[in-house]
A = this chain, B = another copy of it.
Amino acid sequence: MPVGTQGTVKGLTPAELQAAGTQILLANTYHLMLRPGSALIREQGGLHRFMAWDGPILTDSGGYQVLSLKELVRVREEGVHFRSHLDGSSEFLSPERSMEVQADLGSDIAVTLDHAVPLPADPETQRDAGERTLRWTERSLRHGRTLVTPEGREQLLFAIVQGGGDPDLRAEMAERTVALEGDGFAVGGLSVGETKEETWALARATTQVLPLDRPRYLMGMGTPLDLLDGIACGLDLFDCVLPTRNARNGMAFTTAGPINIRNAEHARSKEPLDAACGCEACVRYTRAYLRHLHLAGEILAHRMLTLHNVTFYQTLMAKARRAIDEGRFSSYAREFSEHYRERSGGPPASA
């Protein structure tokens, strides 16, 4: 899922997202509740109509953004009190409020409010956050089932599994979350300070408990290799700002690994970003031109690199789906990894 934080995947139109192979978008509840406000979006007929995207939309619960605000966040049993990053005004997000905002937005998939903790954390903190997440999940699901979206579409409710850095706690939380009967499940609180090896051990501890007939969504990561590793752990949906955010910093994904278009080596290059890619950026423009646009701060640079990176991610996933259908996912993932080099100066592990 490309990330459309403020009701747009930065720089792209819905038609371009579709041409890139996008099936579903993520939009951020936190950002949209503050601006332009969910009542306005409901009044406009919901987020699909507002942003002119007629494919599925998943909204997150806003919990992750609120808890990452550095200052003035108070977590209470009723919900989270915080101050808006826009104007400092006092705001409040509870399980009920999160679901109401998501119903206003009219997303196809809404996600329960959770309480994640950065790692490392002591066992008590992890347990405490996990138990609170379970109580909030129950409240989110109960209230969410009563709400109506602006277009009257059915909204699926995904429950987030937490559990910190302890695989046993993860498994317990997964089991108790499953009992609450979400339409799908999300794995949250990963890539928050632990090693990559730990990440996948924690993911597996969760997914092996989740029912096979419900989608599993890994929240907020990662690199192309992360996605393939995640699929191997039994995960189905992913979202990450890497392809879009890094595009604006000049980073383009290629089958040989990420490149930075700012680098002098591309100054006179007549090659496309990726000869294997059929997106508009690769069909029309040389690296030399895109580097010029990027250094000159031109919007078209952000736009073309974003289009390319989204195309790259969607192609990676489309090929993974095909490989799974044909029973050869492991060899697909291995072949991709052999050609793909995450050079220094490449992307961070997650974002």
Chain A interface (Cβ < 8 Å from any Cβ of B):
6-8, 10-14, 35-36, 40, 43-44, 50-52, 267-268, 270, 280, 284-286, 288-289, 291-293, 295-296, 298-300, 302-303
In the complex, the answer to whether B36 meets A288 with C-beta atoms within 8 Å is yes
Knowing A44-B286, A284-B52, the reply to whether A299 touches B292 (Cβ < 8 A) is no
CB-nearest residue of chain B to A307: B13
The complex places the Cα of A303 from the Cα of B302 at a distance, in Å, of 12
In the complex, the answer to whether A299 meets B296 with C-beta atoms within 8 Å is no
In the complex, the answer to whether A300 meets B13 with C-beta atoms within 8 Å is yes
In the complex, the answer to whether A7 meets B43 with C-beta atoms within 8 Å is no
Which residues from B are CB-within-8-Å of A289?
Answer: 7, 44, 50-52
The complex places the Cα of A11 from the Cα of B301 at a distance, in Å, of 9
The complex places the Cα of A298 from the Cα of B10 at a distance, in Å, of 6
The complex places the Cα of A36 from the Cα of B292 at a distance, in Å, of 6
**What would be 22 A-B contacts, judged by CB atoms less than 8 Å apart?**
A6-B292, A6-B298, A7-B289, A7-B293, A8-B300, A10-B299, A11-B300, A11-B303, A12-B300, A13-B300, A14-B284, A35-B292, A35-B296, A36-B267, A36-B292, A43-B268, A44-B288, A44-B289, A50-B288, A50-B289, A50-B292, A299-B299
The complex places the Cα of A291 from the Cα of B12 at a distance, in Å, of 17
Given contacts A11-B299, A36-B292, A50-B292, 18 further A-B contacts (CB under 8 A): A6-B292, A6-B293, A6-B296, A7-B293, A10-B300, A11-B300, A13-B284, A13-B300, A14-B284, A36-B267, A36-B291, A36-B295, A40-B292, A44-B270, A44-B288, A52-B284, A52-B285, A299-B302
In the complex, the answer to whether B286 meets A50 with C-beta atoms within 8 Å is yes
Distance to closest chain B CB from A331 (angstroms) = 38
Distance to closest chain B CB from A214 (angstroms) = 33
Which residues from B are CB-within-8-Å of A300?
Answer: 8, 10-13
Which residues from B are CB-within-8-Å of A284?
Answer: 13-14, 52
